[in-house]
Amino acid sequence: MTALDSPPLGPVLEDLVRSHRPRTEAGSVPANIPHLQVPPFDRFGIAVATTSGEVFSSGDADLPFSIQSISKVFTLAMALSADDSGSLWSRVLREPSGTSFNSLVQLEVEHGIPRNPFINSGALVVTDHLMERSPDAAAQVLRFLTDQVGHQNGRQGPFIDEVAARSELSSSSRNLALAHFLKAFGNLRRPAQAVVENYVRQCSIMMTCVEVAKAGLFLAQDGRGAQGAVVSRSEAKRIGSIMLTCGMYDAAGEFAYRVGLPGKSGVGGGILAIVPGECAICVWSPRLDSKGNSLAGSAALADLSDRTGWSIF
Amino acid sequence: MTALDSPPLGPVLEDLVRSHRPRTEAGSVPANIPHLQVPPFDRFGIAVATTSGEVFSSGDADLPFSIQSISKVFTLAMALSADDSGSLWSRVLREPSGTSFNSLVQLEVEHGIPRNPFINSGALVVTDHLMERSPDAAAQVLRFLTDQVGHQNGRQGPFIDEVAARSELSSSSRNLALAHFLKAFGNLRRPAQAVVENYVRQCSIMMTCVEVAKAGLFLAQDGRGAQGAVVSRSEAKRIGSIMLTCGMYDAAGEFAYRVGLPGKSGVGGGILAIVPGECAICVWSPRLDSKGNSLAGSAALADLSDRTGWSIF
Amino acid sequence: MTALDSPPLGPVLEDLVRSHRPRTEAGSVPANIPHLQVPPFDRFGIAVATTSGEVFSSGDADLPFSIQSISKVFTLAMALSADDSGSLWSRVLREPSGTSFNSLVQLEVEHGIPRNPFINSGALVVTDHLMERSPDAAAQVLRFLTDQVGHQNGRQGPFIDEVAARSELSSSSRNLALAHFLKAFGNLRRPAQAVVENYVRQCSIMMTCVEVAKAGLFLAQDGRGAQGAVVSRSEAKRIGSIMLTCGMYDAAGEFAYRVGLPGKSGVGGGILAIVPGECAICVWSPRLDSKGNSLAGSAALADLSDRTGWSIF
Amino acid sequence: MTALDSPPLGPVLEDLVRSHRPRTEAGSVPANIPHLQVPPFDRFGIAVATTSGEVFSSGDADLPFSIQSISKVFTLAMALSADDSGSLWSRVLREPSGTSFNSLVQLEVEHGIPRNPFINSGALVVTDHLMERSPDAAAQVLRFLTDQVGHQNGRQGPFIDEVAARSELSSSSRNLALAHFLKAFGNLRRPAQAVVENYVRQCSIMMTCVEVAKAGLFLAQDGRGAQGAVVSRSEAKRIGSIMLTCGMYDAAGEFAYRVGLPGKSGVGGGILAIVPGECAICVWSPRLDSKGNSLAGSAALADLSDRTGWSIF
């Protein structure tokens, strides 16, 4: 797991861009989210933020994309950092889901307790939890991300694409169903509609690969972020374990097997991966495989893991 | 199936009231519907409306109760009577559900097509269908029921308990979840909230045993109601077959086995049963068995079937 | 439900044969049972045995076919007739299954208690029950059927196709899985292998349409068979209710809706239907619809129901 | 993840024994496996085999216990080492199961392809795969384990408890059901009975904590075992990822969260855990938690992880 004898990172990333920038028609885009069907499909970016303070990047690493479910890592960290009583873990489990990422079935069988914080029902509970502190949970998340990313000369920084959020909200029947279902089981405190709105706005945050890598770096350095501790060392480890077992929808096992790193993907085509003690990696390419994970992104991370020896196993 | 040699109906009903009026603590009431927990639990009424125009009744047969899911029989008949194109049957199946009456699981597996019109998801589709004709579907249903029941000197007739409906709506998270889920599958045309409101108001219609028996009589006489054909002979038969296979939640088989008649129950404690060519029966008693059907009502119908020989098998 | 004004039965049956004898390529045959793929697919027979002692038939009504799951009606009746203690109903439910006819899922959820005696797991329990009386349950069933059919000049009568049974046994992995699974739940007394062998041999009984109609007649006449009471009046009614709710695999609701009679089908292409008080009907045609029921047979029964007015609803 | 500044291992293990040796009545033993109900419940052993060749142990670390499902790690490694064509991964997936460890449901939904090699159905496929090389797969496994453990002056070494195996086989209905079910889907080549026999005999191998730790050491050192490469570096990593996501029945997420190491448990009360590059750990204590994992064993590993900083996250 040491990178001492790894090849220099800059050229490796450039080579990955050359190898994996998608040119073909392979992969799909989310049918139900119009604004995710827009970006040119040959976009491909990768960035690595190291614990020593360096940032390497290549390809379209400075183009903002919709982080979608990658936001779930950040909302989980924020919820845990404020959860002194540990009450969050009575409302959501930490086990792999073993079914498609939206499924209501599991929720029925488990009486309204989502299997983990990364399936949609679990993320709604986390958002509901965040709303206790301030009703505009999405604004909280944006502030957190901006703090982690830091000042960037002349750059925009993370922002919520409110137009995309409104569009996505209008096709959020399934998430509304989940929220009302959680409510039926007594596992949602705020109104279902308000929770789904916050959730969709968090998912509509736009960030670049460089920004996501920087924002995720606290998970590679025992919970310490750009402005001090985000979570404790112990919580940082635990978020990593949840990413590894639940971070890639129904392909968590396959990703752990091929890449060997904790990761979290979004249907916007981004993936955040963590090398504990070393770095945070963000790769982005819009086309998805059948499980909803970036096709070229997954391949590039497997390639990177092979070249650098980065793996937690 | 002939009642020629049956004992006289009046004394039989009185005897049933004596035998089955519940005195004990057996049975439960719906935990999530406050206004159904109010009525005294020793209430028990029974009424029989015959195809020859007579009405027999005994016990609390003139006290109004909340018809709840019995309304699904009437909305189905109304939807079919207006469904010249047969499009309803492309939106809902006619098969037994084999799981608890609210389950989302089946809906997920069947891609948003409810198993039958008597489970909640199926009834929401039927209500959505009725709303095409007029957005106030509950008012349509009330008008239909009032027409079937006819003038009653000094009596109130069927009415919607709007206070109860509002109360029930505030605890309708599960039905809202179902409606949004149907919407996610493209199987709901009107807004989810509006469909659930109409559905809850239909369920909150208050009727007496005598009124329900009269309103259901068209199913015993080839579709002909108080003011002419409600549905065709063929549709009347078919509604009967759906009642038999799907009318008693997850106890349809048990009810067919013990009673041998098409029936539809509601969590308000009422049951409507049909003897084709003979009569419609309504029995009411508030306490429910573990499947959600009236405990004393089911027992009384089994007893009545044994005494009269009424059974379709 | 009276047949008083029905057209004369002989010509009706001949007309049904003309209309429904399958000529086209529509329908399938069971992929996993070699000997059921052999018969010419234009075979079509129909027979009606009436409570007044007449037998009408047309088409290939005297050709023997594999009764397959129709045998489940007869084993159920035999098990009930011998079940003075009522213990059978503690081992198998009477509810529709709502899933495909072989599914293990239901069994898992219900802790080894099959939903009804007509799904394979339930039929294995019934066979196990019969084996208490005599280990060669298949021979018992054959004797019962032969008794019901009676002497037939120069005809063979029901027989077990032992060659077909052996062949079918070699592809009975799924039934063996079911049997071992029942055993794991403590719901099988005899060895799994022996129960499956008896089950397969019962299913491999060969009968003609005329013979099946005669053998099923006791269900139309309050339980009275050719040689006295097979089951009580009450049990006869109850078997009818189970046929109606569970007799046609996952198309029980559809069949009740279209035909309106208790029925039981087999993948050999036969269907037994009962008109209480009137007659037993057997139709046979090898090609099956997507639910595993005879395609032409179902259509012919719907047609017959429309022409005669026979329906229990 | 370095152990440089860890406390000395010997005293730590002794302290763990003092803290976690179970005295109370907490926890259960497998109801269906008689011979696992025998050992005194205050037994507790722990052993660590390091990549530098040392072995530390404390408590009952030299008492043999039934390794049960820990054997699945070894059979998987053996199957992969011989699987040049990669055909094993077309017969079994690598995803968490998300349901109880024996469930047939998943298998039905996934058409006979088990979710991973550590649930019973997946392990049966692995055993079937091993039987291609030699029908006595259990003897192969025993030979492999004996080779890894090496000569031990005067000690017995791993052995199959054939009496226990025969006893366990007689209550293996569920595994027989799984095997016949796999056969029905065409995913078992050898006879179901023979595969289950081999599977049960592998599970009945008796080993001490010291022996299990030594046998698992190859997973901590890039696939290199006592007598050369067992599997490639890449395969060793991958087995680790499967252990982390699927190794603890339905508590894999919880274990990853609390302990942070790849682990595999057995209902005999043993757990094997791997610290990549450092060591293999085996802990044993008979009483189990509600998920089937050793109660005291899990607690001791969480404690050890906290004290040493060992965690892959």
Q: What is the pLDDT of residues B127-184, one digit of tens each?
A: 999 999 899 999 999 999 999 999 766 778 999 999 999 999 998 999 999 999 999 9
How far is CA C75 from its chain centroid? 10
| Amino acid letter, residue A24 | T
Pick from D37, D117, D6: which is nearest to D287 by CA?
D37
Q: Is residue C213 part of a domain?
A: yes
Whether residue C175 is annotated as binding a ligand: the answer is yes
Alpha-carbon span C91 to D117, nearest angstrom? 34
Residue D257 annotated to the active site? no
What pLDDT score was predicted for residue D41? 79
Q: A83 falls in which pLDDT band (50, 70, 90)?
A: confident
**Residue the block writes with tokens 């008689």:** D34
Whether residue C267 is annotated as binding a ligand: the answer is yes
Nearest to D173 among C104, C108, C184 (CB): C184
Structure tokens at C269: 């292409």
Between these two residues, C285 and B34, which has the higher pLDDT value?
C285
Search chain D and give the residue with CA nearest A109.
D99
Alpha-carbon span C48 to C220, nearest angstrom? 11
Alpha-carbon span B31 to A212, nearest angstrom? 47
Pick from D157, D168, D143: which is nearest to D69 by CA?
D168
- ipTM score assigned to the predicted complex: 0.89
- What average pLDDT does the structure give for chain D? 90
Please say whether the beta carbons of B158 and B71 come within 8 A.
Answer: no
Q: Residues 95..154 of B with a Cβ closer than 8 Å to C: which?
A: 95-99, 106, 115-116
Binding site residues of B for substrate, as ranges?
69, 120, 168, 175, 199, 249, 267
Taking contacts as CB-CB distances below 8 angstroms, the residues of chain D near A110 are: none
Contact B254 C95 (CB under 8 A): yes
- Cα D32 to Cα C6, C184, D35, D174: the distances in Å are 62, 10, 9, 11
What's the whole-model pTM score? Answer: 0.89
Helices B71-81 and B120-130: crossing angle, nearest 10°? 40
Whether residue A175 is annotated as binding a ligand: the answer is yes
Answer whether B240 touches C (CB < 8 Å): yes
Alpha-carbon span A227 to A197, nearest angstrom? 29
Answer whether D94 touches A (CB < 8 Å): yes
Q: Is residue B313 part of a domain?
A: no
Contact A181 B108 (CB under 8 A): no
Search chain C and give the residue with CA nearest B238.
C257
Catalytic residues of A: 69, 72, 199, 249, 267
Torsion, Cα D284 D286 D289 D292, to 10 degrees, reads: 80
Residue D72 annotated to the active site? yes
Search chain A and give the residue with CA nearest D257.
A238
Q: Is B38 exposed, middle or buried (0-12, 13-18, 19+ CB in 10 A)?
A: exposed
Structure tokens at D110: 């996934």
Least confident of A264-273, D26-35, D54-63, D151-160: D26-35
Please say whether the beta carbons of A98 and A246 come within 8 A.
Answer: no
Angle CA C108–C109–C110, to nearest 5: 90
Its domain, for residue A264, covers: 9-308
- For A180-243, give the DSSP string: HHHHHTT---S-HHHHHHHHHHHHTEEE-HHHHHHHHGGGTTTTEETTEESS-HHHHHHHHHHH
Pick from D247, D231, D292: which is nearest to D118 by CA?
D247
Whether C48 has a pLDDT exceeding 70, the answer reads: yes
Taking contacts as CB-CB distances below 8 angstroms, the residues of chain D near A233 are: none
Contact B180 A180 (CB under 8 A): yes
Q: Is residue A1 part of a domain?
A: no
Q: Is A290 exposed, middle or buried (0-12, 13-18, 19+ CB in 10 A)?
A: exposed
Contact C236 B313 (CB under 8 A): yes
The 10 Å Cβ neighbour count of residue D21 is 18
Mean pLDDT of D7-14: 90
Answer whether D176 touches C (CB < 8 Å): yes
Q: Is A164 exposed, middle or buried (0-12, 13-18, 19+ CB in 10 A)?
A: buried
Quick: pLDDT tens for B178-228: 999 999 999 999 999 999 999 999 999 999 999 999 999 999 999 999 999
Q: Beta strand B65-66 with B55-59: parallel, antiparallel or unpaired? A: unpaired
B88-92: Cβ within 8 A, 24+ apart? B88/B125, B88/B126, B88/B129, B91/B125, B91/B129, B91/B187, B92/B116, B92/B117, B92/B122, B92/B125, B92/B126
| Amino acid letter, residue A141 | V
Nearest to C260 among B93, B94, B241 (CB): B241
Q: Is residue C1 part of a domain?
A: no
Quick: pLDDT tens for C235-272: 999 899 999 989 998 888 889 989 999 999 999 999 99
Contact A104 B104 (CB under 8 A): yes
The C-alpha of D275 sits at a distance from chain A's nearest C-alpha, in angstroms, of 8
What pLDDT score was predicted for residue A175? 95
Please say whether the beta carbons of C145 and C207 come within 8 A.
Answer: yes
Search chain D and give the residue with CA nearest C100.
D108
Q: Is residue D208 part of a domain?
A: yes
Whether C299 has a pLDDT exceeding 60, the answer reads: yes
Nearest to D184 among C103, C105, C173 (CB): C173
Residue A138 DSSP label: H
Q: Is residue B304 part of a domain?
A: yes
Structure tokens at D169: 């086989």
The C-alpha of C95 sits at a distance from chain B's nearest C-alpha, in angstroms, of 4
Taking contacts as CB-CB distances below 8 angstroms, the residues of chain C near B278 are: none
Quick: pLDDT tens for A54-70: 999 999 999 999 999 99
Answer whether B311 touches C (CB < 8 Å): yes
- Cα D154 to Cα A110, D132, D149, D151, D162: the distances in Å are 52, 34, 13, 9, 22
Structure tokens at D242: 């499967």
Percent of chain D with pLDDT over 90: 73
Residues 6+ apart with CB under 8 A from D76: D117, D118, D126, D239, D242
Q: How many CB pairs under 8 A join B and C?
A: 105
Q: B27 falls in which pLDDT band (50, 70, 90)?
A: confident
Q: Is residue C3 part of a domain?
A: no
Residues 6+ apart with CB under 8 A from D310: D1, D3, D6, D260, D261, D275, D278, D304
Q: B99 falls in which pLDDT band (50, 70, 90)?
A: low
Nearest to D108 among C104, C173, C176 (CB): C104
Search chain A and give the residue with CA nearest D262.
A313
Search chain A and give the residue with CA nearest D250.
A95
- For B132-178, give the DSSP string: TT-S-HHHHHHHHHHHHH---TT----EE-HHHHHHHHTT-HHHHHH
Please say whether the beta carbons of C266 and C69 come within 8 A.
Answer: yes
Structure tokens at B47: 């009424």
Whether residue A199 is annotated as binding a ligand: the answer is yes
Search chain D and give the residue with CA nearest C102.
D108
Q: B2 falls in which pLDDT band (50, 70, 90)?
A: very low
Touching A (3+ Cβ pairs <8 A), the chains are: B, D
The C-alpha of A292 sits at a distance from chain D's nearest C-alpha, in angstroms, of 15
Contact A95 D95 (CB under 8 A): no
- The enclosing domain of B31 has a CATH number of 3.40.710.10
Structural domain total, chain B: 1
Q: A4 falls in which pLDDT band (50, 70, 90)?
A: very low
Whether A45 has a pLDDT exceeding 90, the answer reads: yes
Taking contacts as CB-CB distances below 8 angstroms, the residues of chain B near C89 are: none
Mean pLDDT of C106-111: 78
Alpha-carbon span A212 to C74, nearest angstrom? 68
Whether residue C249 is annotated as binding a ligand: the answer is yes
Please say whether the beta carbons of D197 and D242 come within 8 A.
Answer: no
Nearest to B313 among C96, C311, C312 (CB): C312
Touching C (3+ Cβ pairs <8 A), the chains are: B, D
Search chain D and give the residue with CA nearest A236.
D313
Alpha-carbon span A9 to A279, nearest angstrom? 11
Nearest to A173 among B105, B174, B180 (CB): B180
Nearest to C116 among B93, B242, B253 (CB): B253
Whether residue C69 is annotated as binding a ligand: the answer is yes
Residues 6+ apart with CB under 8 A from B307: B6, B7, B12
Q: For residue B193, which phi and psi values (nearest 5 degrees)?
A: -60, -45
Taking contacts as CB-CB distances below 8 angstroms, the residues of chain A near B128 are: none
Quick: pLDDT tens for C191-245: 999 999 999 999 999 999 999 999 999 999 999 999 999 999 989 998 999 999 8
Answer whether D250 touches A (CB < 8 Å): yes
What pLDDT score was predicted for residue C4? 46
Q: How many CB pairs under 8 A join A and D?
A: 106
The C-alpha of D181 sits at a distance from chain C's nearest C-alpha, in angstroms, of 5
Whether A53 has a pLDDT exceeding 90, the answer reads: yes
Residues 6+ apart with CB under 8 A from A296: A20, A21, A22, A27, A44, A283, A285, A287
Q: Pick the catalytic residue: C17, C92, C141, C267?
A: C267
Q: Is residue C104 part of a domain?
A: yes
The 10 Å Cβ neighbour count of residue D229 is 14
Whether A52 has a pLDDT exceeding 50, the answer reads: yes
Mutation pick from C176, C183, C193 vs chain D, by most beta carbons of D within 10 Å, is C176
Contact C277 B1 (CB under 8 A): yes
- For A23-40, give the DSSP string: -SS-SB--TT-GGGG-S-
Whether residue C153 is annotated as binding a ligand: the answer is no
Contact C256 B246 (CB under 8 A): no
Please say whether the beta carbons of B238 and B276 come within 8 A.
Answer: no
Q: For residue B49, which phi and psi values (nearest 5 degrees)?
A: -110, 120
Nearest to B173 among A103, A173, A183 (CB): A183
H-helix segments, B185-284: 192-203, 209-216, 233-246, 252-258
